[in-house]
Amino acid sequence: MSSEASEVVILERCWIVEFRSKTNVSIVLKFQSGEPDLYLEAASKPDCESWAVALGEANSEGLQNKIQQLRRLIMEIKEERSSDEAQQFLPSSQADSLGEPQFTSIRRIANEPKLEFSLACKDLVAATRDRKLNTFIQVSVVHPAEHILTRYSSTEIVEGTRDPLFLTGVTFPPEYPIYEETKIKLTVYDVKDKSQDTVRTSVLPDHKEPRADVGRSFLGCTTFRVGDLVKSKEQQLTLTLRTSDGGKTVGTIEVNLVKMGELEDGETDHITTDTQDQKCALVRECTATEGISDKDNLPSLNAVLKNPICKLYRFPTSDNKWMRIREQMAETTLSFHVPKELINLHIKEDMRRNQELKDLGELAPHWDNMRKSVIAHCDQMLSMYQDTLAELGKHTGSSFKSSCSKGEKTLEFIPINLHLQRMHVHSPRLKDALYDVITVGAPAAHFQGFKNGGLRKLLSKFEAERRNTGYQCIYYSPENTAKAKEVLSNINHLQPLISSHADLLLNSASQHSPDSLKNSLKMLSEKTELFVHAFKDQLVRSALLALYTARPGCVLKKPAVPRNSAEEGSDLQHQDHPSQIKRQDSIPHHSEYDEEEWDRVWANVGKSLNCVIAMVDRLLEKDSISSIKEGENDPSAADCKVLRTDGDWYEQLYPLVITLKDCMGEVVTRAKQSMAFVLLQELACGLPQCLMLTLRRDIVFSQALAGLVCGFIIKLHTGLHDQGFLQQLHTVGLLVQYEGLLSTYSEEAGMLEDMAVGISDLQKVMFKVIEAKSEDFLPVITGRREHYVIEVQLPAKMFELLPQEIKEGKLLRMYPVLFNVGINEQQTLAERFGDTTLQENINQENLELLKEYYKLFTEKMPPDCLPHFQEQNDLKGLLENLHQNIQAKKRKNVEIMWLAATICRKLNGVRFTCCKSAKDRTSMSVTLEQCSILRDEHQLHKDFFIRALDCMRSRQTQGALNESDDPETGCLTDNKPTSRHFYPVALLLVSSHLLVVWLILSLALLLAKYQ
């Protein structure tokens, strides 16, 4: 039933302040005119939210602004159409030749941003004379073909001045579609009250865009063509700011074209520094000198980096000069490429292992049942790896995994938020510098969870249980199982090589080529010696005995199976002596085990090789020197049969080579079976926990390796012209420093345990630089678990810059170290009520690794080889200071992070920063580090440190992101509760008593919620 309106409210100069409470669903309207507040109450919470949105849209100022914006856009479109209509009067042949609209590209350096400019305003007019303006500029782009206004970026907010000079510039990356015909629209806003704006945005639904009528007001706008800026003689435009109707002038905007690497010199501007008196004379530059060459912008680097996001800043130095900073964040294709390569290797390795288990031959019923169980479990895991690889092959879209997806099973091998964070600094009097940090979420098995801890705890617990539990299998230590895997890997690698070199030897003999024969024999000898040396281990001998006891034709006098031998080679001591093993009469084909038989088989390979060497020497000797007596024998051929040295070389070498291959084949068969039997014991003693731990370790290692490969490639490119670094790389190795910001409380403690093991496993990774043979520059991964080689491909011109040792394929070692300091509120709980031993142990262990690397560096490298290493005492002092800080056990001692990062940079290392998701804590750490570097290394003006930090941390400068959006694509803040606790954490940290009360209240709230 309708009724007449009892009151009319004019929604002008008003805003929504708050919702009263969750139970009383009412909203409050406040008016700038001083009129009484208006309270409105709805029937339900959804109705209340819809009323808030409707009232905001119904605001008269907001509607007027929208109408004016639409008018301006219509005028811009009409201007574009008028130029298009002029083309209609062209001759039809000429119009046809034009086809699609042609736009003028901007001339630029390859891989450099297409356009960069800085902004400043002068003589802005405020609504009232006494008001101090707090302004920022919103930058929008109108593409000439689409005529759509796209919000691109914003500057920071400059407070308290009518002549703001903005430190944040505007940059367009190389792939951005911007042309000389493109129009840039600059809109200046005055931020009235940021606190009210914060309240208002928390009230509105997350999907709604902030309204312009509350918290900020429109001052004026202007538009310019990109071509006008690029072609201007002084590369500067001075534009008039006008109101929305185009009538009133409210100030001017200066747009200055920026080119990194160009110095500036010119007039002096007075700008504000801090929030108080802030007078500082600064020089603004206009003259250009010599540009710099970006050595890192190369095709091979572009193959692994994509979708860069750039931000431009200009900060004053302590001597009142400008320095320019370009901040770049880029995704990497390695986030998916490395895990897929790694999973493919896991599949091949597991398939080969399963086949080796099947090739063990006939086993006694107990061992045969054990083998069947192991193979069944391994096949299940193999199927899971194959399914994961297939799902990753179908992945399209983003080249990184956002934190929203960290719990997805199909993406568990992919690192979280793996990005390159680069800062390019151009100082007026200092050399240009690049500072790279790899940001990534802590490598951890999020899908599997952390209920029972992480890898560090799980591996230790599993090993203890495997020793003490009464499994019906033989215990081999982790060192022995690792040795067994190494022997199998050497067999699979060397046997084909030896066979190939033997065939080349016969081919050289058939061609009667002495030089080729010598070279083939040399290669055959080297590989065969490596092959023979691989079996000089007690483990093979003891495993052969154990395998013999597992055959159906053998029984032991003692029924119990020996186990629990922990030391390497101690398995033989716990086995029954061969004299205690007797052959069953029902199987006469089994003979008594001869322990010396393996020695004879193994030695036959060496004797066969000696025979081949002796024959080649005889053939070459007779061919070259006929004066030497025919019957003189070489002592090394004492075990060989009497051979003829005349006739065809091939006929005389062929039987010896066949004998060598046969002897080698017999050794391979026995050794493969014995080592496969060792692996059978490892798997059988821990099913299914052993395979699950292997899976978890593979997941964590995959995430860690993707980041390492990215960091190595970037470091190699930036240091390609630094001969000192290249010498350090192949002489000592590369230091890789991880900065962890995880707490030691709850799930993050498990993440830290996973991360510590994953980073430690990177010590088993070696890098090799090869020349690229195609345009595909993505790295190639070879090897097996516990021993991987990453082949990094470089174009021919870049490859020639490398030292000879690296070009010859020398393997490059990695030295990863992890230092962790928890910094969030959960770490406060851990320090007051929990345990920080895990963090302390990790930091202490990695300090020793860092000292070991420093010792190797000082021993192998000259003191003057590195630019940062001119003062050795400085590094010694930093290491000693780091040692003292770790020993101090101070709460949230962030000095540890700063010292470790400084040492890493001085030793030409690669820097990583990690937290749970590589977002909040990581970004705060990286921006603080960048500003500290600018202050300490590039003379950033001390009064501008906080303002520079605010610029880098400001979400206002992130462009078209709404305030309600998460920094990651497709992740809204409605996935996170807006308020979880009753009191601010900062207040609770003041008193431990308040903290206890807070915990009790939070627990009571959770219980009430779930009940």
Given a contact cutoff of 8 angstroms between Cβ atoms, the answer to whether 183 and 25 are in contact is no
Residues 6+ apart with CB under 8 A from 314: 118, 167, 169, 258, 322, 323, 324, 325
Phi, psi of 722 (to 5 degrees): -100, 100
CA distance 672 to 531: 13
CA distance 482 to 4: 87
Nearest to 361 by CA among 371, 350, 373: 371
List the beta strands (DSSP E) in 750-827: 765-771, 780-784, 787-794, 812-820
Positive or negative torsion for Cα 1001, 1005, 1007, 1011? positive
How far is CA 138 from each of CA 123, 254, 604, rounded to the nearest angstrom? 18, 14, 81
Q: Can you tell me whether residue 184 is helix, strand or coil? A: strand
Residues 6+ apart with CB under 8 A from 1009: none
Query: What distance lies between CA 854 and its chain's CA centroid?
Result: 25
How far is CA 608 from each of CA 495, 500, 583, 596, 618, rounded to the nearest angstrom? 15, 16, 32, 18, 15
Helix 837-860 vs helix 872-888: crossing angle, to nearest 10: 170
Pairing of strands 812-820, 765-771: antiparallel
How far is CA 212 from each of CA 14, 62, 200, rounded to the nearest angstrom? 12, 7, 11
CA angle (624 as vertex; 623, 630 as ends), nearest 5: 65
CA distance 168 to 311: 7
Q: Of the listed 663, 915, 931, 951, which one is catalytic? A: 915
Rg (CA), the chain: 36
CA distance 1007 to 1011: 6
Residues 6+ apart with CB under 8 A from 727: 803, 861, 865
List the beta strands (DSSP E) in 42-159: 115-122, 134-142, 149-154, 158-159
Pairing of strands 419-426, 812-820: unpaired
- Please name the residue that has the structure tokens 């736009």: 103
Question: Is residue 915 annotated as a catalytic residue, yes or no?
Answer: yes
Residue numbers annotated as active site: 915
